[in-house]
């Protein structure tokens, strides 16, 4: 009975405030947050509402163990990719997904669901899951008063961190960047179909910086130089590759040619 009375009073108070035409912008206790990051050739964007601990026990209290959690507050948390990715070792197509989790003391289940219209976990349907995998939580030295998402770059891939109170979980997101570039190199550049010098130079720089295949990197840089002999960028790339291959004589020769070219332009 006491519970019913309290709820009734709150509802009545809400109607009173609305009826008075209040136009003051009161802050939300679970403000909206977002984070986005270009990872390789893929945009990853997360939108969520950020609940705070406010002296409450979060996991095992406010968020029960063993039950599907909206992983935020209010509307479901959403994550978006503009290219196909691998999440938790599972292929996920480009698009938007809701993030649900099932927290437990020793392991969490992370869920990507195709329904992004949900409020909380109401009407959650596991048949619409696009990916589901298990992660192990860890205890943080920092206390996160408010739920926080972060995206850490790992070259052309990423790791998403979810932190709240003294608990943190994370999971990898793999982009198809390396595969796409390798396919472009093999099908367009090494076959000679493409005739844009900067494409060859860019591919050479990518392979050299990633230290994937320095021999092919040098070959692509040579083709780039043949297509555009005045390119200072390509000369710089070749010098970097020579240094990595410890071909110091070639490094000195290329530097000399570059110096002479620059001198003529002054």
Q: What is the pLDDT of residue 20?
A: 55
Query: What is the separation of C-alpha 261 from the centre of its chain, rounded to a whole number of angstroms?
Result: 42
Q: What is the pLDDT of residue 248?
A: 64
What CATH topology corresponds to 177-265?
1.25.40
pTM: 0.78
Q: What is the pLDDT of residue 24?
A: 80
CA distances from 56 to 51, 60, 61, 62, 73 (A): 11, 10, 8, 7, 15
Cβ(145)–Cβ(126) below 8 Å:
no
Q: What is the pLDDT of residue 22?
A: 66
CA distances from 186 to 128, 183, 197 (A): 37, 5, 16
Domain boundaries along the sequence of the chain: 26-175, 177-265
List of the chain residues with pLDDT < 70:
1-22, 248-266
183-213: pLDDT as tens digits: 999 999 999 999 999 999 999 999 998 887 8
């Amino acid at each position: 009975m006491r519970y019913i009375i309290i709820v009734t009073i709150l509802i009545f108070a809400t109607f009173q405030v609305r009826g008075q035409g209040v136009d003051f912008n009161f802050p939300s206790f679970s403000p909206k947050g977002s984070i986005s990051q270009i990872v390789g050739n893929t945009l990853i964007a997360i939108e969520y509402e950020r609940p705070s601990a406010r002296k409450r026990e979060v996991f095992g209290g406010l968020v029960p163990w063993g039950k599907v959690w909206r992983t935020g507050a209010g509307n479901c948390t959403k994550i978006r990719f503009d290219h196909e990715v691998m999440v938790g070792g599972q292929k996920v197509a480009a698009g938007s997904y809701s993030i649900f989790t099932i927290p437990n003391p020793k392991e969490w289940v992370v869920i990507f669901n195709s329904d992004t219209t949900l409020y909380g976990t109401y009407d959650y349907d596991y048949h619409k899951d696009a990916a589901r995998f298990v992660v192990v939580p860890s205890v943080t030295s920092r206390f996160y008063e408010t739920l926080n998402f972060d995206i850490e770059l790992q070259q052309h891939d990423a790791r998403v961190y979810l932190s709240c109170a003294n608990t943190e979980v994370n999971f990898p997101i793999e982009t198809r960047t390396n595969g796409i570039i390798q396919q472009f190199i093999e099908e367009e550049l090494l076959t000679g179909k493409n005739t844009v010098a900067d494409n060859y130079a860019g591919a050479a720089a990518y392979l050299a910086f990633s230290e994937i295949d320095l021999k092919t990197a040098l070959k692509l840089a040579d083709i780039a130089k043949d297509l555009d002999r005045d390119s200072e960028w390509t000369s710089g790339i070749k010098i970097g590759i020579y240094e990595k291959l410890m071909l110091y004589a070639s490094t000195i020769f290329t530097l000399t040619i570059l110096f002479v070219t620059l001198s003529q332009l002054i």
